[in-house]
Amino acid sequence: METERKDLTPDLFGAVEIDEREGERIAGPPVGFWKDSWRRLKKNRGALISLGVITLLFLMAFILGPLLSQYGPYAQDLSRRFQGPSAEFWFGTDDFGRDLWSRVWAGTRVSLYIAFLAAAIDLLVGVPYGAISGYLGGRIDDIMQRIIEVLVGIPGLIVAILAMTVFSPGIITLSIAVAFTGWVYMARIVRGRMLQLKEQEFALASRSLGAKGFYLIRKHLIPNSLGPIIVNMMFTIPTAIFYEAFLSFIGLGIQVPRASLGSLIDSAAAEIRFHPYLLVFPSIIFVLLMVCFNLLADGLRDAFDPKMRK
Partner 1 sequence: MLRYVLKRAAYMIVTLFIIISITFFISKLLPGTPFADEKLTPQLREVLFEKYGLDEPLYVQYARYMLNVAQGDLGNSFYFEGTPVTQMILQRLPVSAFLGVQAVILGLVLGLGLGIIAALKHNTWWDTLAVVVAVIGIAVPTFVLGPILQYIFAVQLGWFPVAFFESWWHSVLPTLALSVFVISTVARFVRTEMLEVLGQDYVTLAKAKGLSGLAVILRHVLRNAMIPLVTVLAPLTIYLITGSLVVEKIFVIPGIGEMFVSSIQVNDYSMILGTTIFFSVLFIIALLIQDILYGIIDPRIRVAGGKE
Partner 2 sequence: MAMNGDTILQVRDLAVSFKTYAGEVQAVRGVSFDLRRGETLAIVGESGSGKSVTAKSLMRLLPEGNSEIKGGEAIFEGQDLLKLSEKQMQKMRGPKIAMVFQDPMTSLDPTMRVGNQITESLRKHLRMSRRRANERAIELLKMVGIPNAEERSRQYPHQFSGGMRQRVVIAIALACDPKVLIADEPTTALDVTIQAQILELLRDLQERLGMSIILITHDLGVVAQTAHRVAVMYAGKIVETGTVREVFYNPQMPYTWGLIASIPLPTADRSQELIPIPGSPPDMLDPPKGCPFAPRCPYAMKVCTQEMPPYTTFSPEHRAACWLHHPLAPDVEPPIKVEDRR
- Contact set with partner 2 (CB under 8 A): 1-3, 8-16, 18, 20, 22-24
C-alpha–C-alpha distance, residues 154 and 151, integer Å:
5
Q: How far is the CB of 105 from partner 1 (least distance, A)?
A: 18
C-alpha–C-alpha distance, residues 296 and 45, integer Å:
10
**Residue from the set 100, 110, 268, 303 that interacts with partner 1 by CB under 8 A:** 268
Q: How far is the CB of 13 from partner 2 (least distance, A)?
A: 5
Q: Which of 260, 131, 256, 261 is nearest to 203 (CA)?
A: 131
The answer for residues whose C-beta is within 8 angstroms of residue 61's C-beta and 6 or more apart is 105, 108, 109, 112
- Torsion over CA: 247, 249, 250, 252 (sign): positive
Pick from partner 2, partner 1, none: which does 83 bind, CB < 5 to 8 A by kind?
none
Cβ proximity of 217 and 131 under 8 Å:
yes
8 lies in the site for partner 1, by CB under 8 A: no
Pick from partner 1, partner 2, none: which does 16 bind, CB < 5 to 8 A by kind?
partner 2
Q: How far is the CB of 224 from partner 1 (least distance, A)?
A: 25
C-alpha–C-alpha distance, residues 100 and 83, integer Å:
10
204 lies in the site for partner 1, by CB under 8 A: no
Cβ proximity of 259 and 107 under 8 Å:
yes
**Residue from the set 59, 204, 250, 256 that interacts with partner 1 by CB under 8 A:** 250
Q: How far is the CB of 206 from partner 1 (least distance, A)?
A: 33
Which one of the spans 24-32, 36-44, 124-132, 242-250 is the region binding partner 1 (CB under 8 A)? 242-250
176 lies in the site for partner 1, by CB under 8 A: no
145 lies in the site for partner 1, by CB under 8 A: no
Cβ proximity of 234 and 297 under 8 Å:
yes
DSSP state of 83: P
Instruction: List residues near partner 1 by CB under 8 A.
Output: 149-158, 161-162, 165-166, 238, 242, 245-246, 249-252, 262, 265-266, 268-269, 272-273, 276, 279, 283, 286-287, 290-291, 294-295, 310
